Chains A and B, each alone.
Chain A
Amino acid sequence: QVQLVQSGAEVKKPGASVKVSCKASGYTFTSYDIDWVRQATGQGLEWMGWMNPNSGNTGFAQKFQGRVTMTRDTSISTAYMELSSLRSEDTAIYYCVRAGSGKDYWGQGILVTVSS
């Protein structure tokens, strides 16, 4: 069965970077784009960007341009999202989503807390 399993919670200091992972199983990893979406506590969903695991091509929301990197390791069917220059407003749950198939599968989400 299709699964997207994300890494564990992270606590970071302001100005640091965080790299979260999303391991895919149950399908051919390179056949579907991966979206990243975040949600601050009590707030709405925010689309961050997408990555094509086959080509490595990416696209980001304007808000995150220059601060986000999306990469992958096809040998272990894992996508990564790295966000730099963290600030308190980046405290949120970060989700990966299998796109290109009706965005049918979501990871369980990773809580990233930015606090001094």
Chain B
Amino acid sequence: QAVVTQEPSLTVSPGGTVTLTCGSSTGAVTSGHYPYWFQQKPGQAPRTLIYDTSNKHSWTPARFSGSLLGGKAALTLSGAQPEDEADYYCLLSYSGARGVFGGGTKLTVL
């Protein structure tokens, strides 16, 4: 099974910009992996922020954006807010419609 990698932790200053990445052990991440990004705060169910690389839900704050960058999926947060402190997970799809989550990134806003 493929392994999906994320930065274990990142720190961003309030108002700053940070990019979280999501790589695949099988090679470059493409739109065919239909990358997803989820946000999870302590004690809560995850919330889907981005789907199919860059599409946002109605509840996704405009400061979040998804893209492909350097062979990885990327989630960029521009203008970080204290409420953005959370765990972030990416999910990639592989053949047979199987999904694999990354290990998650703990984002600190400090």
Q: Which residues of chain A are near B101, meaning CB under 8 Å?
A: 37, 44-47
Q: Indicate whether A102 sits within 8 Å of B48 (C-beta atoms), given known contacts A44-B89, A45-B38, A45-B89.
A: yes
Cβ–Cβ contact B52 & A63, under 8 A = no
Q: How far is the CB of A100 from chain B (nearest CB, A)?
A: 10
Q: CA A106 – CA B55 in complex, angstroms?
A: 18
Q: Mask for A48-92, Cβ within 8 A of B = 1, else 0? A: 001000000001111100000000000000000000000000000
Cβ–Cβ contact A47 & B1, under 8 A = no
Q: Which of A46, A60, A103, A107 contacts B48 (CB 8 A)?
A: A103
Q: How far is the CB of B87 from chain A (nearest CB, A)?
A: 8
Q: Which of A50, A103, A106 contacts B51 (CB 8 A)?
A: A103
Cβ–Cβ contact A35 & B99, under 8 A = yes
Q: Which residues of chain B are near A107, meaning CB under 8 Å?
A: 45
Q: CA A48 – CA B23 in complex, angstroms?
A: 20
Would you call B79 an interface residue if the criterion is a C-beta within 8 Å of the partner chain's C-beta atoms?
A: no
Would you call B14 an interface residue if the criterion is a C-beta within 8 Å of the partner chain's C-beta atoms?
A: no
Q: How far is the CB of B32 from chain A (nearest CB, A)?
A: 16
Q: Indicate whether A62 sits within 8 Å of B47 (C-beta atoms), given known contacts A47-B91, A102-B52, A102-B55.
A: no
Cβ–Cβ contact A61 & B48, under 8 A = no
Q: Which residues of chain B are near A109, meaning CB under 8 Å?
A: 45
Q: CA A44 – CA B40 in complex, angstroms?
A: 10
A/B interface sample: 28 pairs, CB < 8 A: A37-B46, A37-B101, A44-B101, A44-B102, A44-B104, A45-B38, A45-B46, A46-B101, A47-B91, A47-B98, A47-B99, A47-B100, A47-B101, A50-B97, A50-B99, A59-B96, A60-B98, A61-B98, A61-B99, A62-B98, A95-B45, A95-B46, A102-B48, A102-B52, A103-B38, A103-B91, A106-B47, A107-B45
- Beyond contacts A35-B99, A95-B46, A102-B55: 12 other A-B pairs, Cβ-Cβ < 8 A, are A37-B101, A44-B102, A45-B91, A50-B97, A59-B97, A59-B98, A61-B1, A61-B98, A102-B52, A103-B36, A103-B38, A106-B46
